[in-house]
Amino acid sequence: MNNITTKIRVWDAPVRVFHWLLVLSFAGAYLSAESERWRLLHVTLGYTLGGLVAFRLVWGLAGTRYARFANFVRGPQAVLAYLHSLRTKLPQHHLGHNPAGAVAIVLLLLASVALVASGWAIYNDVGGEWLSELHELAANGMLLLVAVHIAGVLWASLLHHENLVRAMVTGQKNGAPADGIRRTWAALAVVLVLAVLGYWWLQWQSAPDAITGPVSTASAKYSSHDDDD
């Protein structure tokens, strides 16, 4: 029986870039939500969040082994079995996402979709006041899910004696050499970063005059929204 383990590649570069850009986008959008001055930032990060989630849905179908939903999304029985194992001396260990963590990830993606869709509708005056309540509910629900996710990551790190946060930075975990992914898709990760930065740059060009100088179409749009309020 061969129990030799070493550092292997588990998380490809696009998954890691997606993860940290999602963290940045949600945190920035949440913190700028109540400020009229930072409305462009809020909208930009919100749309970025939507684009990132769209990418992750595609990559969850066509990505590397541990990025695919088929690898980690399981039914209720698997989730309950995993949670039950945490009370034993031999808890289940998963090289990729564990079944309970998968539930949090799916819920985070669904909350992101609800958050972006309701935000788009509000910004474009589609629907009624209930959308504002839905948007706020989705944002707070996502914040709660993030807190649960962080707690789960810290708990699993202690339980399995591995640094899961570092793994999402380096992409590496301890495992059998045969279980590692062969390719990290670094070039795709670079394209993803450039696409996000390019979109931010375009948004910056249409920023209000208080930030960049000339009054733009976007600035006028924001002003009209303010007048309506």
- Give the model confidence (pLDDT) of 29-85 as tens digits: 999 998 888 999 999 999 999 999 999 999 999 999 999 999 999 999 999 999 999
CATH number, position 38: 1.20.950.20
Q: In the predicted model, is pLDDT for residue 1 greater than 80?
A: no
Q: Which domain holds residue 77?
A: 6-193
- In this predicted structure, what is the pLDDT of residue 4? 63
Residue 124, φ and ψ in degrees, nearest 5: -100, 15
Domain-located, residue 198: no
With cut-offs at 50, 70 and 90, classify the pLDDT of residue 221.
Answer: very low
Mean pLDDT across the chain: 89
The closest alpha carbon to 37, from 209, 166, 196, 217, belongs to 209
Query: For 166-174, what is the mean pLDDT?
Result: 96
Higher pLDDT, 37 or 119: 119
Encoded tokens for 121: 């509708």
* Count of domains for the chain: 1
Residue 211 maps to a domain:
no
**pLDDT of amino acid 144:** 96
Residue 229, pLDDT above cutoff 50: no
Task: State pLDDT tens for residues 193-215.
Answer: 999 999 999 998 877 654 444 33
Kindly report the backbone phi and psi dihedral angles of residue 173, in degrees, each rounded to the nearest multiple of 5, phi listed first.
Answer: -140, 170
Q: What is the largest CA-CA distance in the chain?
A: 72
User: Is residue 57 assigned to a domain?
Assistant: yes
Q: Residue 127: what pLDDT? A: 78
Question: pLDDT at position 89, please?
Answer: 84
As to burial, measured by CB atoms within 10 angstroms (0-12 exposed, 13-18 middle, 19+ buried), residue 206 is middle
Whether 199 maps to a domain, the answer reads no
Residue 36 confidence (pLDDT): 85
d(CA 125, CA 94): 45
11 Rama sector, left if φ>0, alpha if ψ -120 to 50, beta otherwise:
beta
Whether residue 27 is contained in a domain is answered as yes
Q: How far apart are the first and last CA of the chain?
A: 69
In a domain, 153, yes or no: yes
Within-domain flag for 201: no
Range in 103-107, 154-158, 202-206 with the lowest mean pLDDT: 202-206
- Residue 16, CA distances (Å) to 6, 70, 87, 122, 136 in order: 20, 18, 30, 31, 27
Identify whether 213 is part of a domain: no
